[in-house]
A and B are shown apart, each in its own frame.
Chain A
Amino acid sequence: MPFIHPVQDIVVDSANKQVYIVIKNTIVVYRFIDGEYKQVGKWVDTYKLDELEEQNKRKKAKNNAGEAVATTKKEIPIAEALSLNSNIRSLKTFNQGKAIVTCTDSNKGIAIFDVDLQNTENCLTLRKREQFAKRPNAITLTDDENVILMADKFGDVYSINTQGEPYDEKIMGERKPILGHVSMLTDILFKKSTSNNKDFVITTDRDEHIKVSNYPHSFVVDKWLFGHNEFISSIVSPEWKSQWLVSAGGDDSIFLWDWEVGKLLSTFNYTDLIQSQLTDKHLAAARFQNEKKNAIEYCVAKLSTLKSLPYVAFYVEATKILFILAVHSEKGTFSLKQTLDLPANIISLTQNEDIFSVSLDNHESGDKGFVKVIKFDSNTNSFIVDEFLSQNLDKTITTTLKNDTNLITESAEDMHPLYNIINLKKHGEHYS
């Protein structure tokens, strides 16, 4: 049964009652109007598509005699070419919801859009796209929102103005990174120090490093936070305790730091909690397998925290459980608050205000169960799925996208790779 491809990212902008979902190379915007979600915008990244169509056109060239000849080469199947290199990732809203920025794999670039909150036809206007040498992997904004800081897969961080014309290499010369690691960058945060009001950039990589650099003097490294034994996939720093940083990845613990002092406060080991959730999907790749062929590998895919409530949520890649930890804001310790057993594997986790949003792998359930919106319920003192909003969103996603051939998937094998963070794990493949 064909089904609508899983939602790879969901960003809820509750202040403006907008929801952004990302599927493959498409951003769809929904707005809550008159008691239900309506589609108010859509953008399809056709960068590669345009290029391929151009190539296909060119092949119908003329021969030496100037006569039009039929192409002998097979046309590049556009859908196939698009499949791997057209992801959109790290969507973020800014300017009070009147703009978004996202990384587009198609051109190894970032794209900035204006969002017209009155427009119900298509609220997205592409303001500018900028292209880089290496694929962007994570983005953050400075507090004044004038600059986007982008961390790429080669280990460099670039700064991009949110306003103004796209960077022109012909005029301004080759872009220079503002800082870098000799390792793939996985996450980036902009932080203001609580003690002296100075700005910092925090970057994490595949080599267990969390680096704290000054900003804008990013050539002055302030410190490293040492403690991880495996790659880091995600960091968050809560607004309710800005000097703290939570990090996780290939290690079987979540780490809590005071990044300003440079001290590890505590860790939370989730090994026992996750064992029952591990399946064949978590078996290590063949070349890293042991003799018994039962080596498993798993990692935290994403962390998230709320604006005012002292909780941190995380999930392990290719599992259905959302873990919510309470953070003791005096002692600097974690305790397990709740585990939410969701109907399918979680494939993304984001936060807005005091709401968590997750998207799920719907390939078994078909055209439902795309997203869950999770709120804190003060009556029961626990986190609950907002079924009304979640189902309303699911219904709208189904009705608006069921005829979008670009987003319909024939089988699970045709889906974009949804579980590839574990590939960051190092195995010391090269001896010398």
Chain B
Amino acid sequence: RAHSNPFSDHQLEYPLNPDAMDWSKLYPYYYDSDKKEMTKNVTIADIGCGFGGLLVDLSPAFPEDLILGMEIRVQVTNYVEDRIIALRNNHKAENKYQNISVLRGNAMKFLPNFFHKAQLSKMFFCFPDPHFKQRKHKARIITNTLLSEYAYVLKEGGVVYTITDVEDLHHWMVKHLEEHPLFERLSKDWESQDKCVTIMRNSTEEGKKVERKKGAKYIACFKRLPNPI
């Protein structure tokens, strides 16, 4: 299925609060079983990670970070899970792909259940559902009210990455991020020097599909500003 209604009463699992989240199952390599605590926390989130292409390419690029994909569609999540398990098994000797994982969840509703204030340094929104109809715009992943919640989990200086092949949606995302007092657009220069932009442009399944069809890809990145006093 291509869509899932973010407002529905889904059968979802989510922790009562960020401290109640058991990350050891997702990143067993980074769990210290003697101290019974994680040695690292998630710092990069791919919201709506789809088939996990971005996660797989970010993994070697950010070996010091834990990277989490969140996906609302059950089957897609299962696929990414299997994909990561296979990658880990194939690279057992060098312990690769231990720093990426995926969970099934509704990020629009429950992001703060997973992450502490200012925990994240990067958030990716790659080829989100465009929700073309006007009355469905609240279902879009970027809205002025949700941006406040993304700003809460992002640290100062953290970056929101957006990419889409739908020009209308691109303008919508840019407009809302630019209007939000806690975000500032990063320049084209910055984009051209950032390795995540390159990875994002080339690695996701959606991105490759657009590439094959010779479609346009619209990118916009935004920095999390300090809170006003």
Chain A residues in the interface with B (C-beta under 8 A): 154-156, 176-177, 179-183, 207, 209, 213, 217-221, 223-224, 226-227, 229, 426-432
Complex formed: what's the CA distance from A102 to B180 in Å? 31
Chain B residues in the interface with A (C-beta under 8 A): 1, 4-12, 16-17, 73-75, 106, 108-110, 112-113, 117, 138, 143-149, 151-152, 180-182, 227-228
Cβ contact within 8 Å between B10 and A431: yes
Cβ contact within 8 Å between A428 and B12: yes
In the complex where A183-B109, A207-B110, A431-B74 touch, is A220 in contact with B146 (Cβ < 8 A)?
Answer: no
Cβ contact within 8 Å between B9 and A428: yes
Cβ contact within 8 Å between A221 and B152: yes
Q: How far is the CB of A324 from chain B (nearest CB, A)?
A: 29
Selected A-B contacts with CB under 8 Å, 8 pairs: A155-B145, A156-B145, A176-B144, A177-B144, A182-B106, A182-B108, A213-B148, A217-B181
Give the residue name and chain of the A residue nearest to B135 (CB): A133
Cβ contact within 8 Å between B8 and A180: no
Give the residue name and chain of the B residue nearest to A226 (CB): B17
Q: Which residues of B contact A221 (CB under 8 A)?
A: 112, 148-149, 151-152
Q: How far is the CB of A373 from chain B (nearest CB, A)?
A: 39
In the complex where A430-B8, A432-B4 touch, is A223 in contact with B145 (Cβ < 8 A)?
Answer: no
Cβ contact within 8 Å between A180 and B180: no
Q: How far is the CB of B223 from chain A (nearest CB, A)?
A: 15
Chain A to chain B: the 6 pairs with minimum beta-carbon distance, closest first: A180-B145, A226-B17, A428-B11, A221-B152, A182-B108, A432-B74
Complex formed: what's the CA distance from A156 to B151 in Å? 18
Give the residue name and chain of the B residue nearest to A214 (CB): B227
Q: Which residues of B contact A176 (CB under 8 A)?
A: 144
Q: Which residues of B contact A209 (CB under 8 A)?
A: 112
Cβ contact within 8 Å between B11 and A179: no
Q: Which residues of A contact B5 (CB under 8 A)?
A: 430
Complex formed: what's the CA distance from A123 to B11 in Å? 51
Give the residue name and chain of the A residue nearest to B72 (CB): A432
Complex formed: what's the CA distance from A220 to B8 in Å? 27
Cβ contact within 8 Å between B228 and A177: no
Q: Which residues of A contact B152 (CB under 8 A)?
A: 221
| Residue among A155, A219, A226, A430 making CB contact with B9, cutoff 8 Å | A430
Complex formed: what's the CA distance from A156 to B148 in Å? 13
In the complex where A177-B145, A182-B146 touch, is A219 in contact with B182 (Cβ < 8 A)?
Answer: yes
Q: Which residues of A contact B1 (CB under 8 A)?
A: 432
Complex formed: what's the CA distance from A350 to B181 in Å? 38
Complex formed: what's the CA distance from A213 to B148 in Å? 9
Q: Which of A156, A219, A220, A223 has the most CB of B within 10 A?
A: A219
Q: How far is the CB of A405 from chain B (nearest CB, A)?
A: 38
Q: Which residues of B contact A219 (CB under 8 A)?
A: 144, 147-148, 151, 180-182
Q: Which residues of A contact B146 (CB under 8 A)?
A: 180, 182
Give the residue name and chain of the B residue nearest to A428 (CB): B11
Cβ contact within 8 Å between B108 and A428: no
Q: How far is the CB of A57 from chain B (nearest CB, A)?
A: 30
Complex formed: what's the CA distance from A236 to B175 in Å? 37
Q: How far is the CB of B90 from chain A (nearest CB, A)?
A: 29
Q: Which residues of A contact B228 (CB under 8 A)?
A: 217, 220
Q: How far is the CB of A197 from chain B (nearest CB, A)?
A: 13
Cβ contact within 8 Å between A432 and B73: yes
Give the residue name and chain of the A residue nearest to B138 (CB): A154
Q: How far is the CB of A425 from chain B (nearest CB, A)?
A: 9
Cβ contact within 8 Å between B109 and A182: yes
Q: How far is the CB of B46 from chain A (nearest CB, A)?
A: 19
